[in-house]
Structure formats: structure tokens, C-alpha cells
């Protein structure tokens, strides 16, 4: 089959051990990012199987309608960037392993790394040293501080455990059913989202982006945070009300932020407001980007391709398309 991989920025996938699973297939990997419909249609005109790296490229009806040879989209995790109904209309199977039982350790570790970097002003201290200025300020330690975990899923649970190891007090807020699980596992919970944001020294956001969570963090919540508090978002930018974080930082509540996600990605504009603030430590959506995470992710993606080739597709999101074939 003719397989195309999009947005493999550093040509990483060919170097993975699991890439051997595609032996015998014709594979093309694109190392740039392209969202233009005409351009993508040209690149994908002969593609039978499309491999996506998370949500880097939107796959919508105008494009799908032109990809007459496409039969399978194989990816991992959530799929808000894909028009599932258009896939079904065009006879395209969407296979996406949700990995419900496996936390993203890479994302949890990055969350903690960003928090440490923000608390201790590590990027500014590094730049100061390189500029010949030695130290440039005084950071804060995390021990005995209060970490609020907003959203207690797989990643949130890992981050809470890291915090405990660092001697932090941890408070959880999430849906009621999730709060019951958190309490059963021995964690303290907040009475409300407002209480979480008001009482914690750090709030770290960990939830999937669905209709019910979009813009769940309002400007009013951020305004409740302490002037020296840190807000961390390695989940999805759209969980926060548009413009609210920039405005809150300018107003001084919270005092700092650490972010790995943006409203529009990739960010090519160096004058993006968050990138202009000394109070922000930002990374280019690398939460899931590690060799180990890629091996797990692409092993699952390639398993889906092999299952489709064997006539037994797995992890199918739009199962109704199977009834048409």
C-alpha cells in the first residue's frame, strides 16, 4: 500500500524500531507542515493510508472529498482535527487507539520539568549566565507548596505523584465521579474550581479537549490565583478562554505560567504575546515528543495499518463505514 506520514518534522519515524512493521509498503514521510488544501491534495492524491502525528494537520471535508484513493487514516489518541463524518461519507476508516490505560509519561515528565524551570527561573538564569551576567534573580522552591491538579486522569495522576515526591501538598479538582476516585486513592479534593485556583500555589491543567471542557478555565478563575502562583498547561490551549491567560499574566494573577500548547500551532510568530513575557516558560508542544513515546505511539499506529491490510481493522472510530465496504 501507499502510505503517507505527515508532519514528521525531524524525519524521526524512519529511525524507530517499529518502522520495520511497514516493510513491503511504499512509505513517504513529509518533514514540513502544510495546511493548504490544494497543497495537501497534491501530496496525498495517490495515498491509500494516511498516518497523522496527533493533531498537527486538520483533515476536513474539502480535502477528504478529493482523496479518492484514501482508505485508512491511522493515528493515536483524540481526533478533534478530523472530520469523522466526512471520512465516513468518503469510505475512509479512521483507526485511533485511545490508549485508555497508559499514561503519557513523556507529557507528565515535561509538565514537571516546565514547573521546575518556571519556579526557579531556569531559562532566564541560563541566558544570564551565557550573557556574562551571572545570576539574574531569586526563584522559589516547591516543597511545602500546594499543587492543584485540575483534571485527574492518567497524566494528572502521574503529576500528583511527582508532587508528593517533591514534598508538595496536592489538591485535586475534576468531575464528581473522578473526584470520588481521587479521594479513594487518598488525595485531598477541592470543593470547587474556584477554590482550587484561589488556594493553590501551582495549578496544573490535565484534561482532554471535548465540548464540555472547551474554555473551562475562565478569566475569572485565573484572577483568583495568588500573585506568586504558577499556571501550567501542557494539555490543550483551548481549555482556557481565548486571551484569558495573557490578560491574567499582565494583571499579575497568576505571577507566572508554563505552557506547551497554543491556540494555533505551529507558532511561527516570535512576537506571540506569551513568547514576549519573562514570566512565561514556553515549549513547542513537545509533551508527547520523546523517542520512547514515539515508539509506543507508532507501534500502535502501525499495528492498525497491519490489521487493516489483513482485512480486520481495529480501533475503528467510525464503525459504520465498515458496513458500507
pLDDT for residue 249 is more than 90: yes
Q: Report pLDDT digits (tens) over 167-213.
A: 999 999 999 999 999 999 999 999 999 999 999 999 999 999 989 99
Beta-sheet pairing, 256-259 with 230-233: parallel
Q: Which of 109, 265, 295, 303 is catalytic?
A: 265
Average pLDDT over residues 306-317: 97
Handedness of CA 282, 284, 286, 290 (dihedral sign): negative
Which 8-state DSSP code applies to residue 132? Answer: T
Place of cell 513547542: 284
Asked, as a colleague might, if the bond just before 84 is cis with ω within 30 of 0, I would say no
pLDDT for residue 69 is more than 80: yes
Answer yes or no: are the C-beta atoms of 73 and 44 closer than 8 Å. no
Average pLDDT over residues 121-136: 97
- Reduce the DSSP state of residue 255 to 3 states and report it: coil
Place of cell 480486520: 312
What cell was used for 185?
A: 486513592
Q: Which pLDDT score, from 0 to 100, does residue 100 have?
A: 65
Answer yes or no: are the C-beta atoms of 317 and 94 closer than 8 Å. yes
DSSP 282-297: E-SS-TT-SHHHHHHH
Order of strands, sheet of 93-97, starting from the edge strand that comes earlier in the sequence: 26-29, 2-5, 49-51, 72-76, 93-97
Q: Which helix (H) or strand (E) holds 73?
A: strand 72-76
In the residue annotation, 214 being an active-site residue is answered as no
User: 7 Cβ partners below 8 Å, 6+ apart?
Assistant: 30, 32, 33, 52, 53, 56, 57
d(CA 229, CA 252): 9
What cell was used for 287?
A: 509533551
Handedness of CA 43, 49, 52, 58 (dihedral sign): positive
- Reduce the DSSP state of residue 272 to 3 states and report it: coil
d(CA 134, CA 149): 35
Q: Which of 71, 157, 236, 296 is catalytic?
A: 236
Place of cell 497568576: 254
Average pLDDT over residues 298-313: 97
Q: Which of 150, 221, 285, 296 is catalytic?
A: 285
pLDDT for residue 324 is more than 80: no
In the residue annotation, 158 being an active-site residue is answered as no
Q: Which pLDDT score, from 0 to 100, does residue 257 have?
A: 98
Average pLDDT over residues 312-319: 97
pTM for this model (two decimals): 0.90
CB-side exposure of 151: number of CA atoms within 13 Å?
23
- Reduce the DSSP state of residue 233 to 3 states and report it: strand
Binned at pLDDT 50, 70 and 90, residue 325 comes out as: low
CA 232-181-207 angle, 5° bins:
30
In the residue annotation, 60 being an active-site residue is answered as no
Query: What count of other Cβ atoms lies within 10 Å of the Cβ of residue 271?
Result: 6
Place of cell 483533515: 59
Which 8-state DSSP code applies to residue 214? Answer: T
Amino acid at each position: 500500500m501507499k502510505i503517507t506520514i505527515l508532519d514528521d518534522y525531524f524525519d524521526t519515524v524512519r529511525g524507530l524500531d517499529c518502522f520495520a512493521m511497514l516493510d513491503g509498503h511504499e512509505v513517504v514521510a513529509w518533514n514540513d507542515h502544510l495546511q493548504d488544501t490544494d497543497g495537501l491534495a497534491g501530496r496525498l492524491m495517490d495515498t491509500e493510508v494516511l498516518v497523522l502525528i496527533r493533531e498537527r494537520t486538520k483533515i476536513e471535508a474539502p480535502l477528504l472529498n478529493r482523496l479518492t484513493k484514501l482508505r485508512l487514516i491511522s493515528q493515536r489518541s483524540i481526533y478533534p482535527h478530523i472530520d469523522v463524518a466526512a471520512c465516513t461519507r468518503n469510505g475512509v476508516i479512521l483507526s485511533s487507539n485511545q490508549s485508555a490505560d497508559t499514561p503519557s509519561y513523556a507529557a507528565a515528565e515535561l509538565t514537571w520539568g516546565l514547573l521546575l524551570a518556571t519556579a526557579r527561573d531556569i531559562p532566564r538564569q541560563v541566558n544570564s549566565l551565557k550573557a556574562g551576567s551571572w545570576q539574574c534573580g531569586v526563584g522559589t522552591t516547591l516543597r511545602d507548596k500546594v499543587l492543584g491538579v485540575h483534571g485527574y486522569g492518567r497524566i494528572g495522576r502521574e503529576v500528583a505523584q511527582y508532587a508528593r515526591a517533591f514534598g508538595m501538598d496536592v489538591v485535586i479538582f475534576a468531575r464528581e465521579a473522578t473526584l470520588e476516585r481521587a479521594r479513594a486513592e487518598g488525595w485531598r479534593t477541592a470543593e470547587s474550581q474556584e477554590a482550587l485556583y484561589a488556594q493553590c500555589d501551582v495549578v496544573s491543567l490535565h484534561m482532554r479537549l471535548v465540548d464540555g471542557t472547551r474554555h473551562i478555565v475562565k478569566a475569572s478563575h485565573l484572577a483568583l490565583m495568588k500573585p506568586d502562583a504558577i499556571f501550567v498547561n501542557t494539555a490543550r490551549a483551548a481549555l482556557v478562554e481565548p486571551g484569558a491567560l495573557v490578560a491574567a499574566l499582565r494583571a499579575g494573577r497568576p505571577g507566572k505560567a508554563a505552557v506547551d500548547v497554543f491556540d494555533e500551532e505551529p507558532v511561527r510568530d516570535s512576537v506571540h504575546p506569551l513568547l514576549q513575557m519573562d514570566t512565561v516558560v514556553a515549549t513547542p508542544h513537545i509533551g508527547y515528543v520523546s523517542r520512547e513515546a514515539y515508539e509506543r505511539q507508532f507501534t500502535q499506529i502501525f499495528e492498525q495499518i497491519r490489521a487493516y491490510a489483513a482485512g480486520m481493522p481495529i480501533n475503528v472510530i467510525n464503525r459504520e463505514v465498515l458496513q458500507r465496504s
